Structure 1
């Protein structure tokens, strides 16, 4: 049963103990706000699902996914501090990031930072895969950046619950997911594909597009910035056939780390001579 309509949440208003300071973003599922916890004296992020989507079905899906993801304890995975009703609004509370990777990608990024972001993301997803959990919606908007460029992947469980409830079956965001995931057959290899798309964007400045046939848009920029060994890792992760990819994020993480020294030297040499 759908919940009753509620008044819009306004910047400057109060939601329980939280003072709403800024609207950070609006998606198909929820609106995210920066808020101040007046009891604890800290800033937090509040994700407030659209009222018309908060049904018993969605809450049940969220509880099911939360049970699978609550055990994920890793520095590169965003922890949910609480999920509850506040003043009749369903609210998901988490630490407040400085920005999203989507925001950061609007400006040029050095090679070392791009490589570090990729490594952190793979480390976090590898941990989740080891726990038997796949994300299904890895995209720049879900990669949050904190102090000292630490990244944390958000929306474990939330994305799957909301999208399965809204769409009835498959999960993910068009343009960021593997072909087999779009057909409702996601796996750890699908997360690898999404990370490959993000990696390609990090190093080339371009988003690959279907049908993902090599060479992709931005291939010249990619070769200028990335060592051939790193390009080979990214290319394997973007194989249309899931069996041609890395089995999981852990396997891809190991392959990326093997290229770190050569890739960094290559990038520094190009920066010096280019």
Structure 2
């Protein structure tokens, strides 16, 4: 077992070849830093488990996340460049994003940008689902934005292989998870629900809340901005009963893409008359 270092990393300090530039955020299990790779001359993100919480079980979770994500090769999934011990810290190294989708949602977003971001998210999750992996924690904070509004889904730390039995209480973030996931029974349909919540927020400017009964808050704005076919896709993704949703992100993506022409034409027409 590696020793636990209690001190947090200071801005300007070094961790191996990485110079810490700023702290990006603190989660339940880890802190994420922006850093500069002094050998390669590039900026990266360092995800480091909180030292006081480090145990063999936690490290195994992080190792599993690294093994899982490093197998993925998709433009909308955040790649892991390395996962290693540096000066007694277990560190996962990834590309450095400009901001999170959560940050971007604090400003007004045009319809066509929202539509494209949703397509990218669905594309990445569909790829994970094809590889029998459920993300289990899809939320704006885990969607990272890069140049040219390119997004990548991060944090497969609690993702599960679909073939494996998932036991215990629900994992995920309250407010972004499907009802059955909160009961400890996530599936690909649970990820669909989480994407549906984000889609609803994109086009209504409101977050749907439990018990998720229609019409939801922001329904008038949704109807004004989105074509009925697009609303139908979002509504199906947010069905309370899992079997009434799309079976996975791939099926939702296909339905979503079929609305493209009508949805964009409708949005442009509304914009011209408003």
Q: How far apart in 2 are the matches of 1:113 and 1:144?
A: 15
Indicate the SS of the match to 1:211: coil
- Comparing 57-66 with 252-261, greater Cα deviation is found at 57-66
**Structural mapping, 1:1-274, within 5 Å:** 3-156=3-156, 158-160=157-159, 169-274=169-274
Counterpart in 2 of 1:164? none
The RMSD of aligned alpha carbons is 1.6
Q: How far apart in 2 are the matches of 1:43 and 1:65?
A: 21
Deviation of the 1:69 alpha carbon: 3.6
- Please tell me whether the aligned partners of residues 133 and 159 of structure 2 are also in contact (alpha carbons under 8 angstroms): no
- Comparing 83-92 with 177-186, greater Cα deviation is found at 83-92
Q: How far apart in 2 are the matches of 1:53 and 1:225?
A: 46
Deviation of the 1:224 alpha carbon: 1.1
Deviation of the 1:23 alpha carbon: 1.2
- Please tell me whether the aligned partners of residues 136 and 171 of structure 2 are also in contact (alpha carbons under 8 angstroms): yes
1:66-106 deviations in Å (ceiling 9; x for gaps): 44443211000000111111111111110001110000000
- Please tell me whether the aligned partners of residues 160 and 171 of structure 1 are also in contact (alpha carbons under 8 angstroms): no
1:180-214 deviations in Å (ceiling 9; x for gaps): 11111110000000000010111111100000000
- Please tell me whether the aligned partners of residues 169 and 183 of structure 2 are also in contact (alpha carbons under 8 angstroms): no
| Structure 1 length-normalised TM | 0.94
| Structure 2 length-normalised TM | 0.94
Distance 1:133 1:33, change over 3 A: same
Q: How far apart in 1 are the matches of 2:3 and 2:168?
A: 19
- Unaligned ranges ≥5, structure 1: 162-166
Indicate the SS of the match to 2:92: strand
- Please tell me whether the aligned partners of residues 18 and 38 of structure 1 are also in contact (alpha carbons under 8 angstroms): yes
Alignment coverage as a number of residue pairs: 268
- Please tell me whether the aligned partners of residues 31 and 50 of structure 1 are also in contact (alpha carbons under 8 angstroms): yes
Q: How far apart in 2 are the matches of 1:104 and 1:89?
A: 31
Q: How far apart in 1 are the matches of 2:237 and 2:32?
A: 31
Indicate the SS of the match to 2:152: strand
Deviation of the 1:4 alpha carbon: 2.5
- Please tell me whether the aligned partners of residues 5 and 89 of structure 2 are also in contact (alpha carbons under 8 angstroms): no
Distance 1:67 1:83, change over 3 A: closer
- Please tell me whether the aligned partners of residues 200 and 208 of structure 1 are also in contact (alpha carbons under 8 angstroms): yes
Distance 1:229 1:102, change over 3 A: same
Q: How far apart in 2 are the matches of 1:62 and 1:232?
A: 38
- Please tell me whether the aligned partners of residues 3 and 54 of structure 1 are also in contact (alpha carbons under 8 angstroms): no
Q: How far apart in 2 are the matches of 1:168 and 1:233?
A: 31
